[in-house]
A and B are shown apart, each in its own frame.
Chain A
Amino acid sequence: DGGITQSPKYLFRKEGQNVTLSCEQNLNHDAMYWYRQDPGQGLRLIYYSQIVNDFQKGDIAEGYSVSREKKESFPLTVTSAQKNPTAFYLCASSIDLKGPQPQHFGDGTRLSIL
């Protein structure tokens, strides 16, 4: 089945530690996205990438970094500079045809602070 795989499902971070969340898709989609979901705030865009080796900051990029070395992979690193990392992180992808396309979402990673 085609889809988006996020791992791990749960992740714990210690103070001063960087952690990386994995996102892989086998949908052959060009565009990939990372969102952060907090209770009562919906989803907010962290980073997105419309093509390999290129990515753009979203609305809340501070304290995060990404890479897009392969079409199917878009890992997100939560750095120690992100002071409030506890949240649910969702990865999404979409086919980048002309015009808007709906996004497909993974199951998410829940990050907590130890």
Chain B
Amino acid sequence: AQSVSQHNHHVILSEAASLELGCNYSYGGTVNLFWYVQYPGQHLQLLLKYFSGDPLVKGIKGFEAEFIKSKFSFNLRKPSVQWSDTAEYFCAVTPRGTGRRALTFGSGTRLQVQP
């Protein structure tokens, strides 16, 4: 079975600081990778996804993530955060080639951006 680890549980940054949130997964085969974001009072929404091809993927609102296969990692980055980025961020995977479409989530990282 697959699992996902997000080691940063709570991150506090000032506006304009750079962001990197860690995500590591454990699975013996290939995976599809996702980052979801949950803004306060809103539903979970897709930030970006990686299925294949260029390991550097760009998402909405200036976010990007890099898949490093050798490290089983899919870290989320943003060069300069804004107060509106305050939210909870979840990394998720689905195994490829198994027919399973349900997501396995990490425990989430709560990001607080101070003005």
A residues near B (Cβ < 8 Å) are 4, 31, 33, 35, 40-45, 48, 50, 58, 90, 92, 94, 96, 99-103, 105-108
B16 contacts chain A at the CB level, 8 A cutoff: no
- From A42, A48, A90, A102, contact of B107 by CB (8 A): A42
Nearest-CB residue, chain B, relative to A47: B102
CB-contacts of B76-113 with A (<8 A): 90, 92, 94, 96, 101-108
Q: How many angstroms from the CA of A10 to the CA of B17 in the assembled complex?
A: 37
Q: Can you list, as one digit per residue, whether each of B29-43 has a CB less than 8 Å from chain A (1) or not (0)? A: 000101010000011
In the bound complex, residues from chain A placing their C-beta under 8 Å from that of B6 are 42
Q: Which residues of A contact B51 (CB under 8 A)?
A: 99-100
Q: Are B43 and A58 in contact (CB under 8 A)?
A: no
Enumerate B13-66 residues with CB–CB distance to A below 8 Å: 32, 34, 36, 42-46, 49, 51
- Identify the B interface with A (CB < 8 A): 4, 6, 9, 32, 34, 36, 42-46, 49, 51, 90, 92, 94, 96, 101-108
A42 close to B90 (CB less than 8 A)? yes
Residue pair A42, B102 in contact (C-beta under 8 Å) = no
Query: Chain B residues with Cβ under 8 A from A33's Cβ?
Result: 102-103
Q: A41 and B107: CB pair below 8 A?
A: yes
Q: List 13 A-B contacts (CB under 8 A).
A: A40-B107, A42-B6, A42-B90, A42-B106, A42-B107, A43-B103, A48-B101, A48-B102, A90-B44, A94-B101, A100-B49, A100-B94, A100-B96
Inter-subunit contact A102/B49 (CB<8 Å): yes
Closest to A107 in B: B43
Give Cα A43–Cα B34 distance, bound, in whole angstroms.
14
Measured CB to CB, the nearest residue on chain A to B1 is A59
Q: Are B43 and A105 in contact (CB under 8 A)?
A: yes
